Structure 1
Amino acid sequence: MTSSAGFTASLGRRRAYWQAGVCLAVLLGAVYLARSHWPALESGAGRLAVADQGWLLTGAVAAAGTWAASALAQQGAVVRRLPGARLTATQFAASAANHLLPAGLGAGAVNLRFLMRCGLPPGRAAGALAVKAASGAVVRLALLALLAPVCPGLLRLPRVSPLVVAAVLTAAGLAAVLLATPWWTRCRRALAAVLADIRALHARPARAAALWGGSVAFAALHALVLIAVTRAVGLPLAPLQVALLYLAASSAAALLPTPGGLGSLDAALAFALTAAGTPGAGAASAVLGYRLLTVWLPLLPGLLVLAVLVRRKAL
């Protein structure tokens, strides 16, 4: 038992080191890109300073709505009724924590602690987080598939080099090896528990509606924030085009474990906007405005709410 615990701890440390290393590499890459494109960033910041205040206010309202949508989706992932006010406050605090740790660990830790405080066993609480994350991923893919035919030619797949193909094949081979190990047996049990939770939730229409409705609203409101910012700075892109670009960029950025997508999402959004024909300064102003409304302005209040929840033992 002791050796097993030691192996688990060692594996956890290696995973943390790997995530920290990837996070640092991505952030350093983001800093390099920022320095390389500093004139465009400076021009974008100036353009944002004189942007339409009404559209920025609309984006701010949409950003605030994302926390309510996240709370609705989290309630939908749990059969037990959760305290609504504390649940929404927890999502606000979790979004702030998520910008300090890589790969969603901050939000996951806050929500896990909250669900356990509400009486859920650790396994059920972790399963609820997995159900919510899975529904969010499914919703993004479904919205991408829905919007892509409406905006033909907007998304262009990059050319795949032989090195990338070799890396994918290597990863597939490693996955096949893992499937034959005891590690997969434990993962299969966890997956079976999550599937059982999903069946139990969908046996209650109100919970299923909350889960999927909250997930759709969360993605749509984030897209609306970016749409409002692009309107505020006068970018010549249709709302559906901006929504499609946001969904594609956020889906790509989710593959990189940076805090709150910082660096990875910024680069993906800027690339998507410029590939759609937006000038560099306009793309920079849109990304800066989106980050201002979703990260920088709510960060300090979110951390204060987190401290209050911890002090009141809600977490």
Structure 2
Amino acid sequence: MTPEQVRTAPRRRHAYWHTALTLAVLVAVACLARRHWPLLETGAVRLAAADQGWLLVAATATLATWPCSALAQQGAVLRRLPPGRLVAGQFAACAAGHVLPAGLGAGAVNLRFLIRCGIPIAGAATAVAVKGTAGAIVRGALIAVLVAACPGVPHLPRVSGGLLITVGAVATAAAAAAVALSAGPLRARCRRALAGVRAYIAAVHARPARAAALWGGSLAFVTLHCVVLIAVTRAVALPLPPARVALLHLAAGAVAALLPTPGGLGSLDAVLALALTAVGAPAAAAASAVLGYRLLTVWLPLVPGLVVLAVLVRRRAL
């Protein structure tokens, strides 16, 4: 076996296990859908008779998510990116993310786009990671705020700023200790990589416009997805407070992320429907809300997004 085959063997095994887990989740979802098909059919009929005004609000919020994603990506990059191609790239990345599991498609498209814009591969990978990390932090912060604001939801213990700083310091010290205990060449490479990442993040936040774009775009992107679901629940006459719907959406997304299906297909649908019914929503109304949300955010933009992806590849923008 050649050295190249030795290096690629673990990655192939990981890909096989990843594919097997994805297929298992999809098969389980298909079985559940077949078992509950009458309920899904009732939900689809109810969605067809939903309030068109609220559906228009949901569709408008969906359209606004891609410019917000582009704004966040621009905030994670030091140089100016072409605005039109950046928005098109985010639209294409969204479609790719619904085809490949665990966000691999979206990350690959964004990485390729930044490289085509002349950014070195290390800087492009760091920018994609910074954007993803900012989005995760925003989601966590919103969940904490909504848990504290929603009545009837168990409150999390209060965490002081000093405790957060202490936890961060301990985590940083643990990471540093792990690096220090590693081999010499590996330790040097890790230190250089960490120093480069820290310098990049500092450079981004040294520019107020870039930091505002990164965090503002990330916050707007997550908030608009919550608005889409809230508007759909109003369209199907689902009587739930908007803050609680937003909290259920964010929590369901966090849980569904543990199951690596393409675009959360099946996993997010099942978890979100279960969460809505758990707080008292009728099963048919919950099914209608989930179907409407996924129709607007996944199925309707999927084919146009793949077309845009193909056009960008053909024009060598990706």
Same fold at TM > 0.5 = yes
Q: Does 1:224 align with 2:224?
A: no
SS at match of 2:26: helix
CA deviations on 1:236-276 (whole Å, 9 max, x unpaired) are 10111111111111111122211011111111111111111
Residue 302 (structure 1) aligns with: 305
Indicate conservation of the 8 Å contact 1:127/1:193, yes or no: no
Instruction: Give how far 1:181 is off.
Output: 6.1
CA spacing shift, 1:131–1:234, aligned 2, 3 Å: same
Instruction: Give how far 1:156 is off.
Output: 9.6
Residue 206 (structure 1) aligns with: 209
Residue 163 (structure 1) aligns with: none
CA distance in 2, matches of 1:111, 1:261: 19
CA spacing shift, 1:11–1:75, aligned 2, 3 Å: same
Residue 251 (structure 1) aligns with: 254
Residue 109 (structure 2) aligns with: 110
Indicate conservation of the 8 Å contact 1:90/1:111, yes or no: yes
Aligned length: 295
Residue 280 (structure 1) aligns with: 283
Instruction: Give how far 1:11 is off.
Output: 2.3
Residue 151 (structure 1) aligns with: 150
CA spacing shift, 1:101–1:47, aligned 2, 3 Å: same
> Where do residues 37-76 of structure 1 align in structure 2 (5 Å cutoff)?
37-76=36-75
Indicate conservation of the 8 Å contact 1:117/1:314, yes or no: yes
CA distance in 2, matches of 1:288, 1:22: 24
CA distance in 1, matches of 2:115, 2:121: 6
> Where do residues 159-174 of structure 1 align in structure 2 (5 Å cutoff)?
none
The residue identity in structure 2 corresponding to 1:245 is L
Give the number of the structure whose alpha-carbon radius of gyration is greater: 2
Identity %: 67
Indicate conservation of the 8 Å contact 1:103/1:260, yes or no: yes
CA distance in 2, matches of 1:223, 1:28: 28
Deviates more, 1:204-213 or 1:193-202: 193-202
Indicate conservation of the 8 Å contact 2:230/2:242, yes or no: yes
Instruction: Give how far 1:74 is off.
Output: 0.5
Instruction: Give how far 1:25 is off.
Output: 1.5
CA spacing shift, 1:13–1:200, aligned 2, 3 Å: same
Indicate conservation of the 8 Å contact 2:72/2:214, yes or no: yes
CA distance in 2, matches of 1:249, 1:255: 10
CA deviations on 1:154-195 (whole Å, 9 max, x unpaired) are 4699xxxxxxxxxxxxxxxxxx9x986669856665444333
The residue identity in structure 1 corresponding to 2:65 is T
Q: Does 1:293 align with 2:296?
A: yes
CA spacing shift, 1:193–1:37, aligned 2, 3 Å: farther
SS at match of 1:102: coil
Q: Does 1:17 align with 2:16?
A: yes
Residue among 200, 225, 237 paired with 1:197? 200
CA distance in 2, matches of 1:50, 1:188: 59
CA distance in 1, matches of 2:238, 2:294: 17
Instruction: Give how far 1:98 is off.
Output: 1.0
Tell me how large the CA RMSD over aligned residues is: 2.2
Instruction: Give how far 1:149 is off.
Output: 1.4
Q: Any unmatched runs of 5+ in structure 2?
A: 157-174
Indicate conservation of the 8 Å contact 1:131/1:194, yes or no: no
CA deviations on 1:66-121 (whole Å, 9 max, x unpaired) are 10111001001111111111000000011111111111111111111100000111
CA spacing shift, 1:269–1:184, aligned 2, 3 Å: farther
Instruction: Give how far 1:7 is off.
Output: 3.3
